[in-house]
Structure 1
Amino acid sequence: MSVIGSRRRRALTGRVAVVTGAARGVGEALARSLSARGVRLALVGLEPEALRRVSDSLPGESAHWHADVTDASAMAAVAAEVEERFGVVDIVVANAGVAAGGPFADSDPETWRRVIEVNLIGSSVTCRAFLPALLASRGYFLQVASLAAITPAPLMTAYCASKSGAEAFAHCLRAEVGYRGVGVGVGYLSWTDTDMVRGADEDAVMREMRRSLPWPASRTYPLEPAVERLVDGIGRRSPHVYGQWWLRGMQPVRGQLPSLLGGPLGQRQLRRFAPRIAEGSGTGLVGAGGSADERGRSRGTGGRPSHGGGAPG
């Protein structure tokens, strides 16, 4: 390990981090990487058994809370219990997210709204609940965004809108709290090998459209290297963190992408796939995490969170 890498690991040792959406995918991988670097973890999500499994398998101290990130009362209770348990909160990662695909005109309004609620409103609710603790610790807030915040994508209106909004929220927040010692970062990920992306790929049209994108946006990237870059960014308190190296290069040209992808290129793609889209594409939240969110809502998850403890590893 390099001297710089060793210093970053030491900088995180003993810190307390909250990770939402920690039951699987990016959230679970973040928890594992942070725990390996000596961070004490508070895991939040909608899958209590999966959260318990992740928490019990971490090498360091952790605890888990079952709560919906869009429920302000539940998240305020989580924040109070996390502080009671750990005494301080140094890092908050707003990672919880869901996705749905398909034409906007044919989308289910409740599913479309839920993507916005979880990815954008849920992030702001998470931040509001934990911001007093971050102000006290002069801590760091990381908003997990996406390539979808940088560039529009046909058949992904809700996801792109939610991630663009979450990115803008974090940029605005940085100015408001930076002078008070709180760092705010945005983490960008392209297509990464998670349940969400695999679930989206189950739709043949979505899969083929994604694979027809120009390289390097057309491929799926392994999870662990992307997450390690995010964790390195947390250690640096970076304002921008890129899970894949090439995403940084998208920033200077992002202003040109809406006219390109919403214009001839995007319209040509949609014209090509239109007959198959008409047969039905994108009927609900994708992946195992989306299914868990739908189950949680059907059971009325919310209100006071359920809490599970974990002993030091």
Structure 2
Amino acid sequence: MRDIFDVSGRRSATGAPLCGRVAVVTGAARGVGEALARRLSDAGMLVALLGREEETLRRAAASLPNPSICVEADVTDHTALEGAARQVENALGPASVVVANAGIAAGGPFIHTATDLWQRVVDVNLVGSANTARAFLPQLAHTRGYFLQIASTAAFGAAPMMSAYCASKAGAESFAQALRGEVEPDGITVGIAYLHWTGTDMIAGIDEHPVLQALRRHQPRFARRVHSPAQVADWLATGITERTHHIYAPPWLRWCQPLRPLFPAVVARITRRELRKRSRAELAADVEVLGAGGRADWNSYRSARP
């Protein structure tokens, strides 16, 4: 689907189809979310940055070239997101673009991962995306807008030691596919973005993660490349402008779609060899939340619990 934005959702004849419209990006404090907020602001959009790290969000919002706001909100809290949606509409106007980007990851054996940590990953990545859609769909119906679900190649082939992340990203992809058919009659387009190795703090310790390291080592050289958040944001912004159903970052990922039935067996074969090299005690010690953003969310969640 290659329609270009204008105020009614039809093809735009202008050279700046996003200019003056409102975008909402969750997980916007750092990484891809922050880079995409900047890229959309550069394109003339009014951007609302949503996330858990209020001070980091404020700094990111203050550095954008166009008017923006930041809202501290937990995407797993539906009431908080409803309030955020009202705040965005009152401050900037109804959203034309909503990007469900918020996500965290935890690595380690399923049996040794705390139940609440495993649940938290699924809640942020999957339930949080659904909550984001629920809160902003009325605005997107008004603007005939675009909802973008950030997925991952983790949905292509589930990796051991990453069960919550892979399950949640596969679920988020399925959610977006189901939602697409429901909201098309309202003029809303739903896109899914597939991200590969991206240079965020989530993969900063990849060399210490046995499964991720093995998977990357066995990929072709071009597939091992780590792309900067700014480059990924450029690909995402192009897809948003064109209202595409699928965005691939990097673009060559589109050719992997027909091969997806093969990936689970390939991933299992590679990781099986790697896991056999390590003792159960070593694997149990690898349970951790990946990245500064994930740790900030996890620490905030734990501190808020009674």
- The answer as to whether partners of 2:109 and 2:287 remain within 8 angstroms in 1 is no
- Indicate the residue corresponding to 2:303 in structure 1: 299
Q: Secondary structure at the match of 1:23?
A: coil
Which of 38, 42, 45 aligns to 1:36? It is 42
Provide the residue aligned with 1:201 in structure 2. 206
Question: Aligned pair in 2 of structure 1 residues 7, 281: CA closer, same or farther (>3 Å)?
Answer: farther
What's 1:287 paired with?
A: 291
Q: Which moved more, 1:109-118 or 1:146-155?
A: 146-155
User: Alpha carbons of 1:7 and 1:22: their partners in 2 closer, same or farther (altered >3 Å)?
Assistant: farther
Q: Matched residue of 1:96: which SS?
A: coil
Identify if the C-alpha distance between structure 1 residues 287 and 139 changes in structure 2 by more than 3 Å, giving closer, same or farther. Answer: same
Which secondary structure does the structure 1 equivalent of 2:161 belong to? coil
Which residue of the partner structure matches residue 279 of structure 2? 275
Tell me the amino acid that sits aligned with residue 247 of structure 1: L
Structure 2 CA distance for partners of 1:7 and 1:160, relative to 1, 3 Å: farther
1:252 paired residue among 244, 258, 269: 258
For 2:16 and 2:64, the matched residues in 1 are separated by 18
| Residue 9 to residue 125, structure 1, CA distance change in 2 (3 Å) | farther
Per the normalisation by structure 1, the TM-score is: 0.88
Q: Secondary structure at the match of 2:105?
A: coil
Q: How big is the shift at 1:278? A: 2.9
- What SS does the corresponding residue of 2:107 show, helix, strand or coil? coil
Q: CA-atom RMSD, angstroms?
A: 2.0
Aligned amino acid, residue 273 of structure 2: R
Aligned-partner Cα distance in 1 for 2:172–2:273: 29
- 1:212-231 CA distance string (max 9 Å, x none): 23124434222221210011
Contact 2:215 2:270 in 1 (8 A): no
Counting aligned pairs with the same residue, the percent is 47
Matched AA of 1:266:
T
Counterpart amino acid of residue 98 in structure 2? V
Give SS of 2:29's match. coil
Q: 1:120 and 2:126 equivalent?
A: yes
Is the 8 Å Cα contact of residues 205 and 277 (structure 1) preserved in structure 2? no
Asked if the contact 2:191/2:246 (under 8 Å) is kept, the reply is yes
Matched, 1:149 2:155: yes
* Secondary structure of residue in 1 paired with 2:106: coil
CA distance in 2, matches of 1:39, 1:66: 20
* Structure 1 residue aligned with 2:101: 95
SS of equivalent to 1:63: strand
Q: Matches of residues 126-205 of structure 1 in structure 2 within 5 Å?
A: 126-198=132-204, 200-201=205-206, 203-205=208-210
Residue of structure 2 aligned with 1:214, choices 219, 231, 238: 219
Cα distance in 1 for partners of 2:96, 2:155 equals 26
Higher-RCO chain (CA-CA 8 Å, sequence separation at least 6) = 1
Query: CA contact under 8 A between 1:12 and 1:235: conserved in structure 2?
Result: yes
TM-score (norm 2): 0.90
The Cα shift of 1:249 comes to 1.1
Secondary structure at 1:145's aligned position in 2?
strand
Partners of 1:297 and 1:185 in 2: CA distance: 29
2:301, 2:140 → 1: CA distance? Answer: 29
Letter in 2 for 1:157: S
8 A Cα contact 2:214 2:270, kept in partner? no
- When structure 1 is superposed on structure 2, of 213-222 and 157-166 the one drifting more is 213-222
Structure 2 unaligned segments of length 5 or more: list them. Answer: 5-11
Contact 1:40 1:61 (C-alpha < 8 Å) held by counterparts: yes
CA contact (8 A) 1:51 1:64 kept: yes
